[in-house]
Amino acid sequence: MRKIGLYLLCGGLALLLITGCTGVGDGLPFKKRKPPAQAPQQDAYKEMSGAIKKVPVVVKRIKPGDLTRYTLVTGVLEGETDIAMKSQVSGTVIDVYKSLGDWVDAGVEIGRIDNTDYEVQLKQARANVLSAQASYKALELQMKATEKLYAGGNVSENEYMTAQSSLQKARAAQDGAEAELQLAEKNYNNSRFLAPVSGYIADLSLEVGENITIGASVCSIVNTKRLVVNTGVGESDIVYLRRGQKVMVRYGNTIERSGRIAGIGIKKSENTANYPLRIELDNPDRTLYPGMIVQCSIETKTWKNVLYIPQQDLLEEYDQHYLFVVTDKEKAHKLRVVLGEKIGENVIISQGLQPGMEVVTDGAENLTEGTVVDIRVTND
């Protein structure tokens, strides 16, 4: 009996120690143990019960629109006229009437050399012409009189032939005097540096007191009220272009002008793969200058009321093209589409896409069929 009582006492003490360590029992002041962390199976259960992680995406709601094809070319602006004026005579510059950048009309004097000798030659040539004309007139009257006398048998044939020869010599002398007058006028006019065309003076080389020789530069005259771009296009673009077609000409991001196609080459330029193209544009306020590099945009064709997307939003697998669209249950759906015309960075979708569909434009790389998505931004 004593052994049984001893066993019961030891068992009771052991039970008391166990209940105290677990914080369960008769309310003795022992610290309770923190509950254990949830098992991974419980987290998986929460995800399966509705707390599924959504993939963020950006979508665009598709609607029909117009898509325009443009031909883009680059070129250098030139003046409609660009003349390098050279001296045709030699002499000392004594007057300069215009300055760099001035506008001149055709025939206006820009400057002149000391043309005293040319002026004397011109006056002498004019006098020689008057004298030759007078001689010819006199001999012409004499010839008429001689013809009447010869017809009446009052002068010999020899006298008649002599009068006829004198008239011919007078005619030749008159022609020679007139030719000399033309040369004298040309030399005199060249000594005055008359503008051959209308335009702005560029690169004026004249200085008072300078000795100038034949062939020396006088100035350049450029008409920048109207500019041209001589460029070229490839064979894939030339078929869409026509004379008179509107062209938008841009310089940087600041200046934009409307021009037109003034000429199209019918064969490729030598040693190039391009057909010549001439574009003309007005420049009334002179904000554009020759030498500027410009971008020319030519509207060639417009597709009306079509569905299109940027080519970068397409997925390709085994020569098939796909898009990810979002269903009404906010799930990703892999949609097969058929492509139409490619225009710039966009492509027309001829089959598969419908108006109102929401196409994923950002985040598609993280999607598979049925992925639940979180639409962060909608690009309507």
Residue ending a domain, among 168, 190, 212, is 190
Residue 132: inside a domain, yes or no? yes
Residues 179 and 241 in one domain: no
**Whether pLDDT at 215 is above 70:** yes
**Whether pLDDT at 176 is above 60:** yes
* pLDDT at site 50: 53
**Whether pLDDT at 37 is above 60:** no
Q: What is the mean pLDDT of residues 126-147?
A: 92
Residue 261: inside a domain, yes or no? yes
**DSSP codes joined into one string, 52-95:** PPPEEEEEEE---EEEEEEEEEEEEEEES-EEEEE-SS-EEEEE
Long-range contacts of 340-343 (CB under 8 A, 24+ apart): 340/306, 341/303, 342/311, 343/67, 343/68, 343/69, 343/303, 343/308
Residues 182 and 129 in one domain: yes
Q: What is the pLDDT of residues 238-260, one digit of tens each?
A: 988 999 999 999 999 889 999 99
Give the Cβ contact number of residue 278 at 10 Å: 18
Residues 228 and 214 in one domain: no
Helix, strand, coil % over all residues of the chain, rounded to 5: 30, 35, 35
Q: What is the pLDDT of residues 9-27, one digit of tens each?
A: 445 544 444 444 444 444 3
**Whether pLDDT at 216 is above 90:** yes
Residue 96 structure tokens: 């300069």
Residue ending a domain, among 265, 300, 335, is 300
The CA distances from residue 345 to 187, 253, 341, 348, in Å, are 62, 20, 11, 10
As a whole number of angstroms, the distance between CA 61 and CA 335 comes to: 15
* pLDDT at site 154: 87
Residue 51: inside a domain, yes or no? no
User: Are the C-beta atoms of residues 308 and 282 closer than 8 Å to each other?
Assistant: no
Residues 366 and 332 in one domain: yes
As a whole number of angstroms, the distance between CA 311 and CA 339 comes to: 10
Buried b (16+ CB within 10 A) or exposed e, 353-364: beeebbbbbebb
Residue 32: inside a domain, yes or no? no
* pLDDT at site 51: 64
Mean pLDDT over each residue of the chain, to the nearest integer: 85
As a whole number of angstroms, the distance between CA 116 and CA 270 comes to: 50
Residues 211 and 91 in one domain: yes
Residue 249: inside a domain, yes or no? yes
Residues 175 and 238 in one domain: no
Q: 379 falls in which pLDDT band (50, 70, 90)? A: low
Q: What residues contact residue 254 under an 8 Å CB cut-off, 6+ apart?
A: none
Amino acid letter for position 10: C
User: Are the C-beta atoms of residues 310 and 345 closer than 8 Å to each other?
Assistant: yes
**Whether pLDDT at 317 is above 90:** no
Residue 280: inside a domain, yes or no? yes
**Whether pLDDT at 31 is above 80:** no
As a whole number of angstroms, the distance between CA 278 and CA 263 comes to: 5
Domain at 365, CATH number: 2.40.420.20
Residue 99 structure tokens: 């300055």
Residue 24: inside a domain, yes or no? no
Residue 367: inside a domain, yes or no? yes
Coil/strand/helix, residue 160? helix
Q: What is the pLDDT of residues 149-169, one digit of tens each?
A: 888 888 888 988 998 899 899
Q: What is the pTM of this model?
A: 0.59
Domain at 231, CATH number: 2.40.30.170
User: Are the C-beta atoms of residues 197 and 223 closer than 8 Å to each other?
Assistant: yes
Residues 129 and 227 in one domain: no
Residue 13 structure tokens: 């003490």
Residue ending a domain, among 182, 205, 221, is 221
**Whether pLDDT at 40 is above 80:** no
Domain at 150, CATH number: 1.10.287.470
Domain of residue 369, residue span? 56-64+307-378
Residues 340 and 355 in one domain: yes
Which single residue is written with the structure tokens 């391009």?
274
* pLDDT at site 236: 86
Residues 336 and 216 in one domain: no
Q: What is the mean pLDDT of residues 197-209?
A: 92
Residues 204 and 95 in one domain: yes
* pLDDT at site 253: 87
Nearest CA to 326 out of 261, 269, 270, 377 is that of: 377
Q: What is the pLDDT of residues 318-368, one digit of tens each?
A: 889 999 999 988 899 999 999 998 988 899 999 999 999 999 999 888 889
**Whether pLDDT at 222 is above 70:** yes
Q: What is the pLDDT of residues 257-290, one digit of tens each?
A: 999 999 999 999 888 899 999 999 999 888 999 9
* pLDDT at site 380: 64
As a whole number of angstroms, the distance between CA 309 and CA 343 comes to: 10
Q: What is the pLDDT of residues 74-100, one digit of tens each?
A: 999 999 889 999 999 899 999 999 999
Q: What is the mean pLDDT of residues 26-47?
A: 41
As a whole number of angstroms, the distance between CA 86 and CA 220 comes to: 9
DSSP for residue 144: H
* pLDDT at site 207: 92
Identify the residue with better confidence: 16 or 200: 200
As a whole number of angstroms, the distance between CA 288 and CA 277 comes to: 20
- What's the total number of domains in the chain? 4
User: Are the C-beta atoms of residues 118 and 188 closer than 8 Å to each other?
Assistant: yes
**161 CA to centre of own chain:** 75
Residues 264 and 366 in one domain: no
What phi and psi values does residue 33 have, to the nearest 5 degrees? Answer: -80, 140
Residues 285 and 324 in one domain: no
